[in-house]
Homo-oligomer: A and B are copies of this chain.
Amino acid sequence: MLTQSEENYLKAIFALSEQQTEIVSTNLLSEKMMTKPSSVTDMLRKLADKSLVSYLKYQGCELTDKGKDYALQIIRKHRLWEVFLVEKLNFGWEEVHEIAEQLEHIKSSKLTDKLDAFLHYPKVDPHGDPIPDKNGNFSNDQKTKQLSFSNINDEVVITGVEDGSIEFFQFLKHCEIGLGTKVKIIAKYNFDQSVLILLNEKEIVLSELVSQKIYVQ
C-alpha cells in the first residue's frame, strides 16, 4: 500500500513520460512535483526498492509495468471522480481537478468499480481525457487533432481540452465551449495564428494558444 506522496510521484512520472520523454529526468520531475531535485532522488530510490520504477543514478527513471499499472489505477480514479463531480454534483469544469486530486487516493478498488458502474462506464472525463478500465486499458482517440490544425469551413466537434488553469476553464465556460460542442472554422489569421470560429450563431476569436489547447474531430 503506497502513500499519497508515492502515488503522486507515480502519476507525475507517467504523465511526463507520455508528454515529454520516455525516460524522465530528476530535474523535470522535481519541477512537476514542485519539490527540490534532492527530494526526488530520495523518492526514486524508494520507488525503485518497491520495483515501481527502474532508476539508474544520473540517468533518470521510467515506470516498470507494475508502476504503470498502479499509475493507471490512480488516473482511473481521478477521472471517474471528475465525471461524478461534474455530472452528478454539478460542479464546473474548473473546480473539479483539485477535489479529484484528493479523491484519487481513496483506497478501495470495489469503490472504484462501483463508481464506474454508477456513472455507466464513461469512456472520457469532463476534459475529454480517456478513462482506463479496470484492467488499465483505454483507447486514446479523443485528443489527437488540435483545433489549430482545422481548415477554413471545416465543421468539427470538440472532443477534448488540455488540462489548464482555472482561468482557462472559466474562459471556455464563458464561450460555452464544452465536450460535444459543434464549431465551424470561419477564418484563420496568419499574423497571430488566431482562429475565428462560429459557435451557437456567435463568432469568437480564439488565440493561437487557446486553439492549440482544444481538440476536435
Contact = CB atoms under 8 A, between A and B. Distances in A.
Contact of A106 (B89, B103, B115, B118): B103
Nearest to A95: B110
A114 interface: yes
A59 interface: no
Q: Label chain A's interface by main secondary structure.
A: helix
List the number of copies, as a whole number: 2
A90 B106 contact: no
A111 B102 CA distance: 12
Interface of A: 85, 88-91, 95, 98-99, 102-103, 106-108, 110-111, 114-115, 118
B91 A102 contact: no
A99 B118 contact: no
Contact of A91 (B89, B99, B114): B114
19 contacts: A85-B111, A88-B118, A89-B111, A89-B114, A89-B115, A89-B118, A90-B114, A91-B110, A91-B114, A95-B110, A98-B108, A99-B106, A99-B108, A99-B111, A102-B106, A102-B107, A102-B108, A103-B103, A103-B106
A85 B102 CA distance: 18
Contacts of A108: 98-99, 102
A22 B83 CA distance: 44
Given A85-B111, A88-B118, A89-B115, 5 more contacts: A95-B110, A98-B108, A99-B108, A99-B111, A102-B106
Nearest to A103: B106
Contacts of A111: 85, 89, 99
Nearest to A117: B89
A114 B85 CA distance: 9
A111 B85 CA distance: 8
Nearest 3 Cβ contacts at the A-B interface: A89-B114, A102-B106, A99-B108
Nearest to A91: B114
A190 B106 CA distance: 47
Contacts of A103: 103, 106
